[in-house]
Amino acid sequence: MNIGFIGLGNMGRGIAENLLKAGNSLAVYNRTRSRAEALGSKGARIAATPAECCKGDFVFTMLADDAAMEAVALGDGGIVATLPAAAVHVSLSTISVALSNRLAEAHTRAGSAYVAAPVFGRPEAAAAAKLFLVAAGPAAVLARCQPLFDAIGQRTYVLGEKPAAANAVKLAGNFMLASAVESLGEALALVRKHDIAPAQFLDLITSSVFTAPPYKIYGAIIAEEKFKPAGFLLPLGLKDIRLALAAAEAVNVPLPLASLVRDHMIAALAHGYGEMDWSVIGKIAMENAGL
């Protein structure tokens, strides 16, 4: 397949490399060119503009937020304006439900196809092609995408033909992850104040009632205070919680826990933790406990 890939951050770099390993022809673009050059040495063609990534069968985007996606997809010379008819834009990004709807409408008017396929997994999962994809879009288009999804992830969950459904599920999932991180931080603060070793508590709790990988991964990060290098930066986590709150408000769903997590993330930014992993909200729980 002839594929373009836009956005080579911590997640995008590993995903793009796996598409290249699968034997696809790949053109890559990143605002910071040095990130693209690493893939250029492995056989990818480095594009000078996003439009140069839109000449093939597919273009994938893995961008930080709505503003970046709007600029790349809907701006002058962007994806919608330059993608050939019947070609597919696959958005892996965590963006708002509202923007996903706008993208679907814009691609329909332009005669191209749009699929939302946000992913669950940290950068190490992206590099190992072990992501979980949540995909939605026209059935025939998803069928065309599936071999590419198989090259970057371990399983794809299909949620129907409306792309924004995938974005809503991704935001709900990230809200649950952030809530788990919040509860871990509070629980670890509690046991520490009772002179119980965090490692002992984590071994017990993640081997019995909370065995899911996020509890093990984030529990260890919080207990050891290893918030750098960040797998997922705090400002990006805050962006996702704000998007979840906006999606909830649009359909009159209260998310009081999300509001709490948002406030703790803002507190972490106020403490200067903006370059740390989003699990640094566990540190806020400890500081609130006088630790």
Model confidence over 145-160: pLDDT tens digits?
999 999 999 999 999 9
Q: Round to whole Å and give the CA distance between 221 and 177.
A: 14
Q: What is the mean pLDDT of residues 230-238?
A: 97
Q: Round to whole Å and give the CA distance between 79 and 62.
A: 13
Q: Round to whole Å and give the CA distance between 158 and 194.
A: 46
Model confidence over 240-271: pLDDT tens digits?
999 999 999 999 999 999 999 999 999 999 99
In total, the chain counts a number of residues equal to 291
Q: What is the mean pLDDT of residues 159-173?
A: 98
Give the confidence band of 93 by pLDDT, cuts at 50, 70, 90: very high
226 an active-site residue? no
Q: What is the mean pLDDT of residues 184-195?
A: 98
Paired tokens of 148:
């590419």
Q: What is the mean pLDDT of residues 224-250?
A: 97
pLDDT of 215: 97
Q: Round to whole Å and give the CA distance between 72 and 159.
A: 25
Q: What is the mean pLDDT of residues 87-105?
A: 98
DSSP-assigned states of every residue in 63-80: -SSHHHHIIIIISTT-HH
Q: Round to whole Å and give the CA distance between 87 and 100.
A: 17
- Domain coordinates of the chain in residue numbers? 2-161, 168-288
C-alpha distances in Å from residue 288, one per residue of 94, 137, 275, 276, 280: 30, 44, 20, 18, 13
Q: What is the mean pLDDT of residues 185-196?
A: 98
Other CB atoms within 10 A of residue 58 CB: 23
Other CB atoms within 10 A of residue 86 CB: 11
Which residues face 131 on adjacent strands?
153
Give the pTM.
0.95
Classified by CATH at the fold level, domain 168-288 comes out as: N-(1-d-carboxylethyl)-l-norvaline Dehydrogenase; domain 2 (1.10.1040)
Paired tokens of 106:
């814009």
pLDDT of 210: 97
Give the confidence band of 167 by pLDDT, cuts at 50, 70, 90: very high
Pick the CATH number of 2-161 from 1.10.357.10, 3.40.50.720, 1.10.10.350, 3.40.50.300: 3.40.50.720
Give the confidence band of 206 by pLDDT, cuts at 50, 70, 90: very high
Give the confidence band of 214 by pLDDT, cuts at 50, 70, 90: very high
Q: What is the mean pLDDT of residues 268-285?
A: 98
Give the confidence band of 139 by pLDDT, cuts at 50, 70, 90: very high
Give the confidence band of 107 by pLDDT, cuts at 50, 70, 90: very high
Task: Output the average pLDDT for the chain.
Answer: 97
Do residues 95 and 65 lie in contact, with contact meaning Cβ atoms separated by under 8 Å?
A: yes
Q: What is the mean pLDDT of residues 95-121?
A: 98
C-alpha distances in Å from residue 268, one per residue of 120, 276, 288: 24, 9, 11
Among 55, 170, 226, 228, the active-site one is 170
C-alpha distances in Å from residue 187, one per residue of 51, 194, 197, 258: 49, 11, 12, 18
